[in-house]
Amino acid sequence: MATPLTPNPAYKCMTKLFSHILLIVLFLTIVESQSIIESLPGYSGSLPFKLETGYIGVGDLDDVQLFYYFIESERSPKDDPLVLWLTGGPGCSAFSGLVFEIGFVILMSWMHTLRPPSIIKPGDDCPLSFDFDNSSRDSPTFKLNPFSWTKVANIIFVDAPVGTGFSYARSWEGYSITDTISAAQTYSFLRKWLLAHPAFHKNQLYVAGDSYSGILVPIIVQKISDGNEAGVKPAMNLQGYVLGNPTTTPHDDYNYRIPFAYMKALISQKQYESIKTNCKGEYINVDPNNTLCVNDLHTVTDCTQKIYSGQILEPTCSLTSPKPVGSKLDASLLGEDAIHLLSLTQVPELWCRSYNYIFSYIWANNETVQRALHIREGTIREWIRCNASLSYTDDVFSTLEYHRNLIKKGYRILIYSGDHDMVIPHISTYAWIESLNLTIATDWGPWFVDGQIAGYTMESYYKKSRLTYATVKGAGHTAPEYKPKECFAMVNRWFAYYPL
């Protein structure tokens, strides 16, 4: 019988040394891509917080380079949660979440030479302000957002999937992505980011996002959970996840648009009863030979096609963009059609939310801005706020089972819905949460901000897991964009383990 070979101690030592060298090389490669940004074009003076930008390579041979913005908590970086934020789409830049939803600044400007007062939408519902006296049409300016989530959390805003924002691939093959590939790459991104930022290893970790991120976030959370159980380093202090107006099962989400339209008086009771009977509750995969159902659906379309589905109380804009960019959820939602206003000599009097997005194009495509952000020259042709031209294939058609599984693992979950969103109606989200058959801890009731009802909430649990669901009264598809004060109060209380 052959005698088993005893490992050579010198060989073991060399192998261990080689592994350490590889980790060091990986760490140095990541570190080289980080830049601390102390000032930004459009903001006067030094930034009053720590902003970092960089790239992290993922995929085969780091072919895919994901760009990120990282803002340390303004309160206590070492104690506050670490949040990975994914903007929806897929294909909407992290910059959109940064300046229009939960980030540290508010993009301000309008066409100084045009500045019709009638386009201003007054009140606190809109997180953007227009500085007519201090801005010009070519120079958008910023002011600090008093309701930024970075006041209570460290947030990584990542341009994912590749082809989003400033992220790019070194080969054409790298741009071919799916839900599962994107989730795997984002998970790899987070692991490498934590390797380069060891100070945040112990912070409570949450993964968050809105809209189409409802597909990707639960998959990423599952990968983190599985990795922790398998002993993958670095271990992540995963606590849970946060989702706003999330896509969960697209077919069901879209199917709920019909009852939502009835609830909001966009169609009559007679029309609703007819379509329920004739379509038998199925409004997406309709038999074309069922003429009664088809005719009813045409009637619904006639009643709703001029409604802005992102927030049904706001005006809708005509699709007149020279570069129309759609969405998997709703072509009008992203509002890219307003970009044509840059070339107009007279601004329409009607205000549209999409006009707010114009200045992100001006700012992010400016060469001085890109140098300030340390964007790699020549890596993208043009920055687009929401890029629907991605080579992207849906291969996950429901994340409900991911939610079921993660509930069993003891995580905290916050789901919120703007209650005037017809893209992902709140009644759809409520329905799938109900289908989880959790135990009710606190039944449906109002929650308040400044003594006023900010929405309605309920809390459910399964053993150690807690799922909080909240509506945000008057908010649209990206709730913090419409109701920043209320959404900040909501997430601040939730991070602190307080009831809403």
The DSSP 8-state label assigned to residue 389 in this structure reads T
Indicate if 80 belongs to the active site.
no
User: 3-state class of 494 per DSSP?
Assistant: helix
Contacts of 437 (CB under 8 A, 6+ apart): none
Say whether the peptide bond before residue 259 is cis (omega within 30 degrees of 0). Answer: no
Set 73, 96, 211, 460: catalytic member: 211
Amino acid present at 221: V
The CA angle 75-81-87, to the nearest 5 degrees, is 105
**Active-site residue (options: 197, 420, 426, 477):** 477
**Vertex 165 angle, CA 160 and 166, to 5°:** 100
Residue 337: how many other CB atoms lie within 10 Å: 23
Residues composing the chain: 500
Distances (CA, A) of 368 to 85, 166, 436: 26, 15, 50
Chain centroid, CA 94 distance in Å: 7
Answer for the pair 93, 157: CB distance below 8 angstroms, yes or no. Answer: no
Is 477 assigned a catalytic role? yes
Contact 158, 94 (CB under 8 A): yes
Alpha-carbon gap, residue 315 to 380, rounded angstroms: 33
Q: Is 403 a catalytic residue?
A: no
* Alpha-carbon gap, residue 119 to 133, rounded angstroms: 16
Q: Of 49, 56, 46, which is closest to residue 77 (Cα–Cα)? A: 49
If 0-12 CB within 10 Å is exposed, 13-18 middle and 19+ buried, where does residue 83 land?
A: buried
DSSP 269-335: HHHHHHHHHHHTT--SS--TT-HHHHHHHHHHHHHHTTS-TTSTTSPP-----SS----SS-TTTT-
Q: Is the dihedral of CA 346, 351, 354, 355 positive or negative?
A: positive
Is the C-alpha dihedral spanning 334, 53, 181, 232 positive or negative?
Answer: negative
Please tell me which residue in 93, 197, 421, 460 is annotated as part of the active site: 421
Contact (CB, 8 A) for 78 and 199: yes
Residue 91 is classified by DSSP as T
- Residues near 108 by Cβ (< 8 Å), separated by ≥ 6? 128, 129, 130, 131, 135, 140, 141, 142, 143
Task: Write out the catalytic residue numbers.
Answer: 211, 421, 477
